[in-house]
Structure 1
Amino acid sequence: MSDPPNVYARWAALYDSVADLPVLRSWRARAADALDLSAGDTVVEMGCGTGANVPVLRRRVGAGGRVVGVDLTREMLAQARAHDDRTGDGVHYLLGDATRPPVDSADAVLATFVAGVFADPAAAVDAWCDCVAPGDRVALLNFQRSRNPLATPVNVAFEGFVRLSAPGTRLSRQSHADAFERRVTAARDRLAERTVDRRYETFAGGYLGLVSGRVE
């Protein structure tokens, strides 16, 4: 990853409180739906943070399935393990770099709000696609600037949001938001190259984009 883990370590508790907001639950459900999960599947979330997606993924795979969360920050995983609904049978957390995932295989891979922080997002997507067999799905959920003309004032605020949430973009000489979106686009483009049966949807006023595909 391009971002120092200690940045996220400092924010682990705050990140956890924000990630658990009720308004985000429908976003998580839509991301999980994009994976076409079945009972008994193994799903891996790359850059799982504090495990906020785990409950919805766990419901999709059932008691016989597995949810594996990979994150580079110990403090994030510690927050995840502090929640009863994010732990238990079938839930596993691995300390590791999502760009070099410490997993051999899975039936699906989810990455939410992380593609924009990697120095080489295309390589990360390649690694994720390599984790699943042909026919299995990979999904990316990311923030983006809205294309709605009425959203211009909010898009200005998006610059500040990226400065706080994706510190790896701070080295860019251009807009932080531009650097962030270039990385997200690179991840999406690589997913398009590696998959078929692709789906793309936006929601939250156009500020969220969900892309998924079935690996060839």
Structure 2
Amino acid sequence: MTTFYERWATAYDRVARLPGLRSWRAGAVDALALSPGETVVEMGCGTGANVPELRERVGPDGRVVGLDITAEMLRTARRHADRTGAGVDYLRADATRAPVRNVDAVLGTFVAGLFADPAAAVDAWCDCVVPGGRVALLNFQRSGHPLAAPLDLAFEGFVRLSAPGARLSGRSHAATFERRVAAARRRLTERTVDRRYETFGGGYLGLVSGTVSDDCG
């Protein structure tokens, strides 16, 4: 999977910058309720498309850390002037074992379905956030709309392309992907309070967020 993203980082970046995606990214960042001066980490940041939104919220005194396991993704992120500069750092690391602690918020977009043990990944993310900080997960999902059947087939294709080489066993890549996303969401629900669930894009994107509490460990 890492080899795939190394090869397709530029194409991935073009898709990530499509104009229609900006409102979804802004919604995910809004769910973190960031304040100026805070530190936010994006797990699996890819080419850093969310970094401008995150940096705007934390301001010049805050810090944005983009973490990804794929070196070419991070190199592509550093080529964009609006995704680099003071207060922005990129770190090559495994998002399931992120070497960060005591941060104010964590964002994970379109990554929960790629992990073999998504609940453990969410546990690690909650553990690195200070009490009162927030964690948000944005993921693709099937729509419940009655006219959505053709687009659900497209969703299956998206999952196959976005998780190349992943061990998605069973009848459907999409079903396995969705089980992983559901597991991540359940664990976030168990580990947080003040939870919110929102949908975007006609129900094809679901955003779950919550506040980390000492009582939810």
Shorter-chain TM-score tier: over 0.9
Match of 1:59 in 2: 56
In structure 2, the partner of 1:199 is 196
- Aligned counterparts, 1:1-216, within 5 A: 4-167=1-164, 169-216=166-213
Instruction: Report the TM-score, using the length of structure 1 for normalisation.
Output: 0.97
Work out the CA distance in 2 between the residues paired with 1:139 and 1:162: 21
- What is the SS of the residue equivalent to 2:21? helix
Question: How far, CA to CA, are the matches of 1:161 and 1:133 in structure 2?
Answer: 35
Cα pair 2:109 2:139 within 8 Å, conserved: yes
Q: Secondary structure at the match of 2:95?
A: coil
Report the Cα distance in structure 2 between the residues aligned to 1:105 and 1:69, rounded to whole angstroms. 15
Answer yes or no: is the 8 Å Cα contact 1:169–1:180 preserved in 2: no
Distance 1:195 1:72 in 2: 26
Q: Secondary structure at the match of 1:149?
A: coil
Instruction: Specify whether residues 202 and 168 from structure 1 end up closer, same or farther in structure 2 by C-alpha distance, changes over 3 A only.
Output: farther
Matched-pair identity in %: 74
SS of 1:129's equivalent in the other structure is helix
Give distance in 2, aligned partners of 1:51 and 1:105. 22
Contact 1:169–1:179 under 8 Å retained in 2: no
- Offset at 1:170? 4.8
C-alpha RMSD of the superposition: 0.9
One-letter amino acid matched to 2:43: M
1:57-86, Cα deviation, whole Å (9 max, x unpaired) = 000000000000000000000000000000
User: What 5-or-longer segments of structure 1 have no aligned partner?
Assistant: none
Letter in 2 for 1:49: G
CA drift at 1:10: 1.1
- Report if the CA contact (8 A) 2:122-2:184 is conserved: yes
Match of 2:142, SS state, is coil
Q: How many residues align?
A: 213
User: When the two structures are superposed, what TM-score results if normalisation uses the length of structure 2?
Assistant: 0.96
Encode CA deviations 1:29-84: one digit per residue, 9 max, x unaligned. 00000000000000000000000000000000000000000000000000000000
Deviation, structure 1 residue 160: 0.9
Alpha-carbon separation, structure 2, partners of 1:24 and 1:58: 17
Q: CA deviation at 1:200?
A: 0.1
Distance 1:171 1:35 in 2: 30
